Structure formats: structure tokens, C-alpha cells
């Protein structure tokens, strides 16, 4: 997709049209920004739908019998939620706000999974909202859920989230942050059987399955297989010790995306095929029935579908040897907290023209923050003020309010979130009356 080193007369995204303008989500990038301004994130609706189908159909084709639940925290825009619902995915909500957004987007309560650490108040409100599944994150949540379900007069389906405690090499912990020993999510795997016993003893709770989430950008099926070993061990113990039936295993998300130029993620279907083979072999070896396998992908659904279009406001070149050119853009970079993406360079292209003269440069946002860089080290055509840059794989959580968002299909775009001007924050703040003097 990084087509900055030549002219491609192509109809594909990342190529250039006859005007030598970059194509983004099937649209002329220059025409998009002439209509909606910059910075602008363009979401490719067809790409999102294709990624949804990769998971829903992939699970079906692999004979795994489970479902795919979109992790709404990655991008909870109502437009995105409606697309994934139409493609047959459920919704995995990290907060009640995401769960309510899902209800507003047309998801029925039984198609929503609430996960992550939860207070007693959140649990009570989730049960009242009719959230179909709740992933128990700690032993303390079991009794709280039982009390809330009893008060509501319902039998609540729950998953038990387990931290497999995998000892992974140090260099891999940027990706596998969700399961390293001491991670903040889930019940430690050595305490899982005790938690299953407590759930089984609660008359208003129904154990639907076990849940684990390993992290982001997991490029091999081996960590998933290691987690499956832990989860199936727990299934066998639960069956033998207390006769509890576990019908589903949810392996979370973490499927890799093409974020940087050298990324080469395997097809989802290949990974699911490997997991299906491994799970069947484990079940045969351990004498247990085959549970359904479910997933909660987030970035793997929307990240590659988004392209940021941003205008170059200034180009700073330095005479000193070794000093890199800095292109200052009108974008305001969002905070990137996931260490699997922090130190990697996203893909860029010049969107308004083509040029064969290349130079290494850094791309900065317009803030004065030391971390306000979109990329530290990329190679681009020799830039000038007014150029339009495209940054690929930017469909994750919404950018700051200074950035507009549009969704496009078949070369036609619609604005879904307008851009606030620089002084827009003034109208958003409500000043306490005691300070109005």
C-alpha cells in the first residue's frame, strides 16, 4: 500500500488515478479533502465488511462453531457498529458506554459481551440493561453478579476470564501483554477451577465458557495454541471434579494488521485452520468434547480500513549533517498507549502528486508535545508546503475532535463526524458559575 516511489495508474487503494491523485477507499483523496477539509480519516466500508466476513466465515469454514464479537473500544463509532452488526458479528464492550452504544446501533442484549474489570454498580447496571454475557474478570465479581442477577430475577450467562500466565520471551511481551504473569486482567489460571466451582454454586449464573485475551499483533498461532492448552486443561478439571460443562472457549483478539511497511500478517483463515486442528487434537488427547471457539477481534476489523489525510503546513530542512527533514502537518496525533504499535513506523504516501525524488523525513503533528510525531523515520517524495499526505492503517479509535471522519464505499463518501475548528473547544466547556466574574 505504500506507493510513494512512483506513479501507479491503478484503481486500487494506495494507487493513483489519471490525475495522479491517491485513491483512498475508492475515492480521489484530493477531492475528498476539498470537500471535507483536513485532517480527515476515511473509513473504507467495504474493507470493514470484508474483514468481518474473514472472521465470521472463517470460524464457520474451520468448523469451530463459535462466533466473532467486535471489540468496540477500538472504534465505537455508530457507523462502524452498524456495519459489524449487519455482518453478523456480536459486540464485545469494555465499558457500559460501549454496551449502550451497541444497543443504540441495534445489537440485541444477547449479542453483547461485557468484559474487563467491573465495579458492583457496573455489574448491576449491566444486568438491568439485559447484557447477554458478562466476562468475569475476578473472583469478587462472581458474588456481585449473583446478587444482581437474583435481584433482577434472571439467569445470567457468564464467561470466566483466565490469565494463562504464559512465560513469553521478553521481546514478545509488547504483543502478549494480556497474558504475562501479573497482568491486570483475568483470574490466574491456577485459581480457575476454584472460580468455576463458585460460579457453579450460584443459582442465577450459567457458565457459558472460558475467556482469555493475549494482546495485540500476535503474528503466530503458537501463543493461541498455548492458551488453548491452559483452557482445555481447565475444562477437563471442571468436568471431572464438579461435573461442570464448558461449551465455549473465547480466545479474544490480537490478530495482526498491516500497520508498518514490513508487516506481513497471515490470512485469518490460515490461523483459524491451525487453531481448529490444534483444538481437535487436544480434545481427542484429553478425552473431552469439542467446545465452540469464539474470538473478539478489534483492530483486525477496522485498523487497515482507515486512511488519514493530512496537509503539510511547513517543511523544515536543516543544514547540519545528519539532521532529518521534518514535515509539520495539520493533524493532532492521538495518544498511542499500546506498546505493540508505539515504536513502529506507519505507512505514508504523497496523495496530491507523484514524484521520484525521495528523502528520509519525520512527520510531526501541529502540537508542541515531544511525542507529537506521526512517524520518526519514513521515506517520502521531497515534500513542500501544501502537499497532502496519506497515512494508512488508521481506522482505530477516533482521532481528536480536530479531525473529521468519513465513510466511503464504491467511490462515494459520507461525513460521519465533523471537524471542530481550533477554537471549537471554547463552545464545549461549561464554566462553573462561581468563576464567572
**Beta strands, E only, 154-215:** 156-163, 187-188, 205-211
- Domains (ranges, CATH) in the chain? 23-44+304-426 (2.40.37.10), 115-297 (3.20.20.10)
60 Cβ neighbours under 8 A, 6+ residues apart: none
Which of 97-106, 252-261, 266-275 is predicted with the least confidence, judged by mean pLDDT?
A: 252-261
Q: What is the DSSP letter of 344?
A: S
Q: Give yes or no for residue 436 having a pLDDT over 80.
A: no
Q: Give yes or no for residue 183 having a pLDDT over 80.
A: no
Q: Give yes or no for residue 338 having a pLDDT over 70.
A: no
pLDDT value at residue 91: 98
Where does the pLDDT of residue 243 fall: very low under 50, low under 70, confident under 90, or very high at 90 and above? confident
Cα separation, 140 vs 119, in Å, equals: 10
pTM metric for this prediction: 0.91
Q: Which of 295, 235, 229 is nearest to 57 (CA)?
A: 295
pLDDT value at residue 127: 97
Dihedral sign from CA coordinates of 15, 21, 22, 24: negative
Where does the pLDDT of residue 157 fall: very low under 50, low under 70, confident under 90, or very high at 90 and above? very high
pLDDT digits (tens, 9 = 90+) for 53-62: 999 999 999 9
What does the pLDDT average to over 75-101? 96
**Run of H or E residues at 48:** helix 45-61
28 Cβ neighbours under 8 A, 6+ residues apart: 17, 19, 21, 22
Per-state percent for the chain, helix, strand, coil, to nearest 5:
35, 25, 40
Cα separation, 239 vs 232, in Å, equals: 10
Amino acid at each position: 500500500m505504500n506507493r510513494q516511489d512512483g506513479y501507479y495508474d491503478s484503481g486500487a487503494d494506495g494507487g493513483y488515478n489519471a490525475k495522479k491523485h491517491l485513491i483512498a477507499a475508492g475515492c480521489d483523496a484530493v477531492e475528498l479533502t476539498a470537500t471535507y477539509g483536513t485532517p480527515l480519516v476515511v473509513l473504507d466500508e467495504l474493507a470493514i465488511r470484508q474483514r468481518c466476513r474473514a472472521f465470521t466465515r472463517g470460524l464457520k469454514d474451520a468448523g469451530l462453531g463459535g462466533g466473532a464479537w467486535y471489540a468496540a473500544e477500538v472504534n465505537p463509532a455508530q457507523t462502524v457498529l452498524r456495519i459489524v452488526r449487519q455482518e453478523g458479528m456480536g459486540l464485545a464492550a469494555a465499558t457500559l458506554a460501549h454496551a449502550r452504544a451497541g444497543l443504540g446501533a441495534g445489537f440485541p442484549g444477547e449479542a453483547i459481551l461485557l468484559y474487563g474489570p467491573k465495579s458492583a454498580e457496573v455489574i448491576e447496571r449491566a444486568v438491568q440493561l439485559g447484557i447477554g454475557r458478562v466476562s468475569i474478570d475476578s473472583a469478587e465479581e462472581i458474588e456481585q453478579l449473583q446478587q444482581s442477577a437474583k435481584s433482577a430475577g434472571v439467569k445470567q450467562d457468564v464467561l470466566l476470564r483466565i490469565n494463562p500466565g504464559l512465560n513469553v520471551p521478553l521481546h514478545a511481551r509488547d504483543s502478549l501483554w494480556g497474558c504475562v504473569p501479573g497482568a491486570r486482567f483475568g483470574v490466574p489460571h491456577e485459581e480457575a477451577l476454584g472460580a468455576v466451582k463458585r460460579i457453579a454454586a450460584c443459582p442465577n449464573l450459567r457458565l457459558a465458557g472460558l475467556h482469555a485475551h493475549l494482546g495485540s499483533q500476535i503474528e503466530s498461532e503458537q501463543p493461541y495454541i498455548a492458551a488453548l492448552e491452559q483452557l482445555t486443561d481447565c475444562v477437563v478439571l471442571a468436568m471431572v471434579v464438579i461435573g461442570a460443562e464448558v461449551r465455549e472457549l473465547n480466545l479474544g483478539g490480537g490478530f495482526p494488521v498491516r500497520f508498518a511497511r514490513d508487516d506481513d500478517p497471515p490470512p485469518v483463515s490460515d490461523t483459524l485452520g491451525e487453531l481448529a486442528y490444534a483444538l481437535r487434537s487436544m480434545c481427542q488427547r484429553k478425552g473431552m468434547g469439542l467446545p465452540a471457539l469464539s474470538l473478539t477481534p478489534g483492530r483486525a476489523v477496522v485498523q487497515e480500513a482507515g486512511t488519514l489525510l493530512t496537509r503539510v503546513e511547513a517543511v523544515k530542512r536543516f543544514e547540519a549533517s545528519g539532521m532529518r527533514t521534518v514535515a509539520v502537518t495539520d493533524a493532532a496525533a492521538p495518544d498511542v498507549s499500546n506498546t505493540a504499535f508505539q515504536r513502529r513506523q506507519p505507512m505514508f504516501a504523497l496523495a496530491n502528486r507523484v514524484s521520484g525524488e525521495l528523502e528520509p523525513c519525520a512527520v510531526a503533528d501541529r502540537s508542541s508535545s515531544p511525542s507529537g510525531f506521526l512517524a520518526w523515520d519514513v521515506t517520502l517524495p521531497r515534500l513542500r508546503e501544501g502537499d497532502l499526505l496519506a497515512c494508512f492503517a488508521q481506522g482505530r479509535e477516533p482521532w481528536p475532535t480536530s479531525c473529521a471522519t468519513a465513510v466511503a464505499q464504491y467511490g462515494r463518501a459520507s461525513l460521519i463526524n465533523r471537524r471542530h475548528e481550533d477554537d471549537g473547544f471554547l463552545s464545549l466547556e461549561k464554566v462553573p458559575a462561581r468563576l464567572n466574574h
